[in-house]
Amino acid sequence: MSEPLTESLAAATADGPAPAVARRGVWRTLRRRPLFWVAAAVLTVLGLVALVPSAFAGWFGQPDPRACDLAQSALLPGGEHVLGTDVQGCDVWANVVFGTRASLTVGLLCTALALAVALVVGTLAGYYGGFLDRVVARLTDVFLGFPFLLGAVVVLTSVGTRSAVTVALVLALFSWPTMARLVRGSVRTVRDAPYVEAARAMGLPDRRIIARYVLPNALGPVLAVATTMVGGVIVAESTLTFLGLGLNAPSISWGLQLSSAQSFFQTSPHMLVAPGVVLTITVLAMITLGDVLRDVLDPRGRS
Amino acid sequence: MTDPASAAATPDATLDNAPGSAPGRAPVLEVRDLTVSFRVDDGRAPDVAAVRGVSFDVLPGEVLAIVGESGSGKSVSSLALLGLLGRHAVVGGSARLGGPGQEPVELIGLDRRALQDVRGRRVAMVFQDSSGALDPVFTVGFQLDEMLRRHAPDLSRAQRRDRAVELLSMVELPDPAQRLRFYPHQLSGGQAQRVMIAMALACDPEVLLADEPTTALDVTVQREVLDVLRRLRERVSTSIVLITHDMGVVADLADRVVVMRAGEVVETAPVRQLFDAPRAAYTRELLAAVPRVGTHERPSGATESARPALAFDELVVEYRDRRGRAVRAVDGVTLSVRPGEIVALVGESGSGKSSMGRCALGLAPVTSGTVEVVGTRPGHDSPRTVRAARSRVGVVFQNPAASLNPRYSIGESVAEPLLVHAGLRGAELERRTAELLESVELPAAWVSRYPHELSGGQLQRVSIARAISLGPDLLIADEPTSALDVSVQATVLDVFREVQRSLGFACLFISHDLAVVDELADRVAVLHQGRLVEAGERTRVLGSPEQDYTRRLLAAAPVPDPAEQATRRATARS
């Protein structure tokens, strides 16, 4: 009796699968997303700018970000300086172009480091729980309770030479705990899912359970936060640099431009707009790419 | 005669047979050509029709059951009546509400404010998950009071309190005045559901829509709630629309039945007529698929062997609750499963049956006593031996959609044990995976599909394929069919029996459904509050139970036969 019944059921259940489900791989699906191409294009351009800023800086006739003339302070956009000049009389366009490398390095490196540490620590704490979990929880409490800026100031003053890499390291040191918390929570919700229990009951090694069952299903919210973190880190670098603790002067970064421009916002907003817009575009492109990837990596988002 | 239009066009013909409703009486709710379709992707994809032209009447004071399997549109229809479907739903047709002495109103297309006035006051709803539907931070009394304040603003504070007590006593809660001060977590599942019914009845609605009101409850508790609903009919004039998939509940409570399938009404008939002489082929299939307890002899696959496949000896399992107190889930149970034998572990929720299964799988801690699984003892032998033994134990969980990794294609899921334990690779792995899928009657071409593309029954067959992939000595099945529709359950049980017969593994089959157990098991063990009440041959335990609890369990499950239900009720009352 089972056969006709199965068939009648296949016809009866509205939520059953369609007879032919379009099957697509990750890349084939990704290729069809216009948003993916937009985000990828923006990030590629930014990458090129970061690698060879001199090729882009000279487009409007002012290739040198350090050729400043106080007599030409705070010029409005137009004329010789396409995006105007800042308080020191430096060309804003050339500064934005040359600032890309430092800002992207700090933003991406710090996020990647924090994410890596958080994934390891958070997954171990979330999956195994117990003593390790308690240690991690208290440790992150300590880091979270510590005033972020004060911590960074103390560490950075004790560091001799400061570059984009050291700043990224210090920022990562203070931003991994929040991420680790998030990873831990996410892993804990997945840990008790029946499919993870089934994997455990099958006698699979922990390594495989974590890598194939837990992490892929727990990563979604973490990636979403990581992509927004890039922007936050770029701004945090600016704060440190403004205090004279970030990048050594005469470094150039978006953060520096933003912090020096903010006091003149009412009289010359253009100094703030240019680096602000690029920063926003960068962060938006990161978030979009993260979202698209998260969708596409999930089989439910593919068919 | 299966055409819904013709059934609706001759309502008098069906009315004459309906017990408890005078022919020719005007219906309280008159649904005509109700259609519901869902817009997909904001109109970029074709609409999905969930309900196509459904018509039925609800007569004053009757219990009308709407029966169907998941996806039949039975819940969607009732939600559509109250405008609870959200903005992606397009609802058409007509639904006229108008009890005796009430102003008639057309529900479809009614604006939000007017609908809010109808909801709760004239049409009330009871949902499946009662503990989820009550707000955990307010007392029962407060929530009842709020309901009354909203819909009967002219009552004074004291009158509202009196009414709340009256409502709670109407649903037969003991000490109703005291219960007003209770928080939802202090009530049992059955009591919470009765409070929900009391809230629904607060404003004397014309129609009470009950969507699977007892599905989440144990059989004995379900019995309690059904009794309350049944006696309510003698006390209030409310008509009840009972939406359910359980033919036993229908036989117990309904006067008339509407059978739905794929968004259409297949058959409308008085309850006895439906069970005695179903007209539609689908109704017959549905009734045939319902398992019943009827103990007939069947050869057992058990083999005599020195070593059992699974043995519990004086097993005790304790958990710590939130305050750190020990809660004893399993209390000194001794039980063994011989090779090739299916032993069913039966009990209600909280009886410890799942804990025993989890112990055997190494997912729950053994507080004292021993568990021996295919010759190894977890906790005593080395982790390596225990892990190696796992490859000889298969497992099938209750919720098929949750027990498969959503990131794996079903082929990858089935292949996982072969890959990890048997070390198969490449073409050999593909061949075995395809074979396994075919052995559970799924097309081998489906290997690259993902779980979300399959239905529950298909997924459960994938779980079975995964569990038997290494030719296990022991299979642990924890409520493998309780999340499935009856006809799907029937096919899954068929597949299960087939693979068990061909592979001959021992099986611990955990279930609350005695009829399913009767179809499958060789021996039955009944658990109650962590203790073994009774264990023995299936025919003996289900046919002539020795213990009172087993008898109660057997009597509480409603059978899909209105005549027998009526006799049972009569004997229970005397």
Please, what are the domains in chain A?
Answer: 35-301 (1.10.3720.10)
Of A5, A13, A303, the CB nearest to B450: A303
Q: Which of A9, A21, A197, A297 to mutate to test the interface with B (most CBs of B within 10 A)?
A: A9
Tell me if B416 and A202 make a contact (CB, 8 A cut-off): yes
B553 close to A (CB below 8 A): no
Q: Which two tokens stand for residue B183?
A: 């928080």
- Yes or no: say if B7 and B265 are a contact pair by the CB < 8 Å rule: yes
List b or e across B31-67, with b for residues whose CB sees 16 or more CB atoms inside 10 angstroms: bbbbbbbeeeeeeeeeeebbbbbbbbbbbbbbbbbbb
The fold of B310-543 is Rossmann fold (3.40.50)
What ipTM did this prediction achieve? 0.76
Phi and psi of B233, rounded to 5°? -60, -25
Say whether B125 sits in a helix, a strand or coil: strand
The region, left, alpha or beta by phi > 0 then psi within -120 to 50, assigned to residue B386 is: alpha
The pLDDT of residue A249 is 61
Give span(s): CATH 3.40.50.300, chain B.
Answer: 1-122+207-219+238-288, 310-543
- Give the residue on A whose Cα is nearest the Cα of B394: A202
Q: Per-residue pLDDT for chain B (574 aa), expressed as one digit of tens each?
A: 344 444 444 444 444 444 434 445 788 999 999 999 888 766 677 788 889 999 999 998 899 999 988 878 888 888 888 888 878 888 999 999 987 777 888 988 888 888 888 888 889 888 877 667 788 899 999 999 988 888 888 889 999 999 999 999 888 888 888 888 888 888 888 888 889 888 888 888 889 999 888 887 888 888 888 888 888 877 888 899 999 888 888 998 899 999 999 889 999 999 999 999 999 999 998 888 888 777 666 777 667 666 888 999 999 988 887 777 888 889 889 999 999 899 999 988 888 888 898 888 888 888 888 899 888 887 778 878 887 888 889 999 888 888 999 989 999 999 999 998 888 888 999 999 999 999 888 888 888 888 888 888 889 999 999 999 998 999 999 988 887 888 888 888 888 888 998 988 999 999 988 888 888 899 999 999 889 999 999 888 888 889 999 998 888 888 888 888 888 877 766 5
What does pTM read for this prediction?
A: 0.79
Beta-bridge mates of residue B51: B36
Is the pLDDT at A8 greater than 70? The verdict is no
User: What percent of chain A has a predicted confidence (pLDDT) above 70?
Assistant: 90
Among residues 53-92 of chain A, which lie with CB inside 8 Å of chain B? none
| DSSP labels, B393-439 | EEEE-S-TTTSS-TTS-HHHHHHHHIIIII---HHHHHHHHHHHHHH
A100-104, A298-302, B9-13, B136-140: lowest mean pLDDT where? B9-13
Q: Which two tokens stand for residue B497?
A: 């029996």
**Domain over B1-122+207-219+238-288 is classified CATH 3.40.50.300:** yes
Q: How far apart are CA A267 and CA B508, in angstroms?
A: 79
User: Model confidence over A149-208: pLDDT tens digits?
Assistant: 788 888 888 887 778 888 888 889 888 888 998 999 999 999 989 999 999 888 888 899
Q: What sign does the dihedral B351-B357-B360-B361 (CA atoms) show?
A: negative
Tell me if B403 and A21 make a contact (CB, 8 A cut-off): no
The pLDDT of residue B436 is 92
User: Model confidence over A273-286: pLDDT tens digits?
Assistant: 888 888 889 888 98
Name the residue with tokens 């194939």.
A212
Q: What is chain B's alpha carbon radius of gyration, rounded to the nearest angstrom? A: 26
The pLDDT of residue A24 is 60
User: Amino acid identity of B28?
Assistant: V
Distance to chain B for A3, nearest Cα, Å: 8
Alpha-carbon distance values, B231 to B123, B169, B225 (Å): 20, 12, 10
Q: How far apart are CA B523 and CA B501, in angstroms?
A: 16
- Yes or no: say if B268 and B14 are a contact pair by the CB < 8 Å rule: yes
B63-67/B264-270 β-pairing: unpaired
Q: What is the DSSP letter of A209?
A: I
Q: How far apart are CA B88 and CA B83, in angstroms?
A: 12
B263 close to A (CB below 8 A): yes
Q: How far apart are CA A119 and CA B88, in angstroms?
A: 39
Within 8 A of B390 by CB-CB distance, chain A residues are: 201-203
Q: Which of B74, B359, B363, B403 to mutate to test the interface with A (most CBs of A within 10 A)?
A: B403
To the nearest 10 degrees (0 to 180), the angle between helices A92-128 and A130-145 is 150
Tell me if B71 and A203 make a contact (CB, 8 A cut-off): no
Q: What is the DSSP letter of B454?
A: S
Distance to chain A for B400, nearest Cα, Å: 9
Beta-bridge mates of residue B208: B124, B240
The pLDDT of residue B233 is 79
Tell me if A14 and B454 make a contact (CB, 8 A cut-off): no
Q: What is the DSSP letter of A214?
A: I
User: Model confidence over A115-154: pLDDT tens digits?
Assistant: 999 999 999 999 998 888 898 888 888 888 877 778 888 8
Q: Which two tokens stand for residue A74?
A: 């705070």
Tell me if A204 and B420 make a contact (CB, 8 A cut-off): yes
Q: How far apart are CA B54 and CA A50, in angstroms?
A: 65
- Pick from A43, A81, A45: which is nearest to A65 by CA? A81
Phi and psi of B244, rounded to 5°? -155, 165
Of A5, A12, A194, the CB nearest to B403: A194
